[in-house]
Amino acid sequence: MNRLTVLLCMCLVTFGYSLKNSQVQLKNVLLDYLKSLNGNKETALDSRHSAVTWLHKVNGRLLELENMQAEALWNFETNLTSANKKMVGDIDREASEIYQQLLDEAKAVDPSVLDQTHRRMMRFLQSYAKSRDPNIVEHTSTTRSDMVTIYNTGKVCRIEDPHKCLPLEPELENVMANSRDPAELLWAWKGWRDVTGPRIKPLYETFVTLLNEGAVEKNYADYGAYWREKLFDQTPDFEAMCDRLWLEVRPLYLQLHAYVRKMLTKMYGAKVVGTSGSIPAHLLGNMWAQEWGNIVDIVVPSSDQTEMKNMENHLQTVLKRKHDVMGLFRLAEEFFSSISLYNMTDTFWRKSMLVKPNDRKVQCHASAHDMFKKHDFRIKMCAEVTMDYLQTVHHEMGHVQYFMAYENQPTLFRDSPNSAFHEAVGDTMALSVLSFKHLDTLGLMGSQYKNSPKVDIMILLKSALNKIAFLPFGYIIDKWRWKVFSGEISKNEYNRRFWEMRLKYQGIVAPVPRSEHDFDPAAKFHIPDNSPYMSYFISFLAQFQFYESLCQTSGHVGPLHQCDFYRSQEAGTKFKKMLNLGKSVPWQQALFQLTGTRQISASSIKKYFEPLSQWLTKQLQGEPLGWDKATINWKD
| 396 a catalytic residue | yes
In sequence order, the 6+-apart residues with CB closer than 8 A to the CB of 506 are 289, 472, 473, 476
**What is the full DSSP assignment across 429-459?**
HHHHHTSHHHHHHTT-S-GGGTT-HHHHHHH
| Cα–Cα–Cα angle for 203, 210, 88, rounded to 5 degrees | 75
- Is-contact 87 114, C-beta < 8 A? no
Phi, psi (rounded to 5 degrees) for 358? -100, -10
Measured distance CA(453)–CA(474) in Å, rounded: 31
- Is-contact 563 432, C-beta < 8 A? yes
Measured distance CA(190)–CA(512) in Å, rounded: 8
Residues β-bridged to residue 280: 509
Residue 396: which of 440, 354, 444, 360 has the closest Cα? 354
Residue 521: which of 458, 565, 558, 479 has the closest Cα? 479
| 49 a catalytic residue | no
- Is-contact 89 141, C-beta < 8 A? yes
Of these residues, 239, 516, 526, 610, which one is catalytic? 526
Burial of 174-204, coded b for 16+ CB within 10 Å and e otherwise, reads: ebbbeeeebeebbbbbbbbbebbbebbbebb
Instruction: Count CA within 13 A, CB hemisphere, residue 79.
Output: 11
**What is the full DSSP assignment across 130-160?**
--S-HHHHHHHHHHHHHHHHHHHH-EEE-SS
Cα 114 to the center of its chain, rounded Å: 34
Pairing of strands 508-509, 279-280: parallel
Q: Report the residue count for the chain.
A: 636
Q: What Å distances lie between residue 508 and 82, 265, 415, 449, 519, CA to CA?
A: 38, 14, 35, 34, 16
Measured distance CA(158)–CA(154) in Å, rounded: 14
Preceding amide of 170 cis, omega within 30:
yes
Cα 274 to the center of its chain, rounded Å: 32
Q: What Å distances lie between residue 8 and 139, 220, 235, 420, CA to CA?
A: 19, 29, 38, 37
- Is-contact 511 505, C-beta < 8 A? no
In sequence order, the 6+-apart residues with CB closer than 8 A to the CB of 391 are 430, 433, 434
H helices of 131-237, where?
134-153, 173-178, 182-217, 223-231
Q: Is residue 513 helix, strand or coil?
A: coil
Of these residues, 77, 105, 169, 396, which one is catalytic? 396
Residue 272: which of 264, 199, 601, 454 has the closest Cα? 264
Number of helices and strands in the chain (H, E)? 25, 6
Measured distance CA(484)–CA(314) in Å, rounded: 46
Residues β-bridged to residue 379: 368
As annotated, the active-site residues are 396, 526
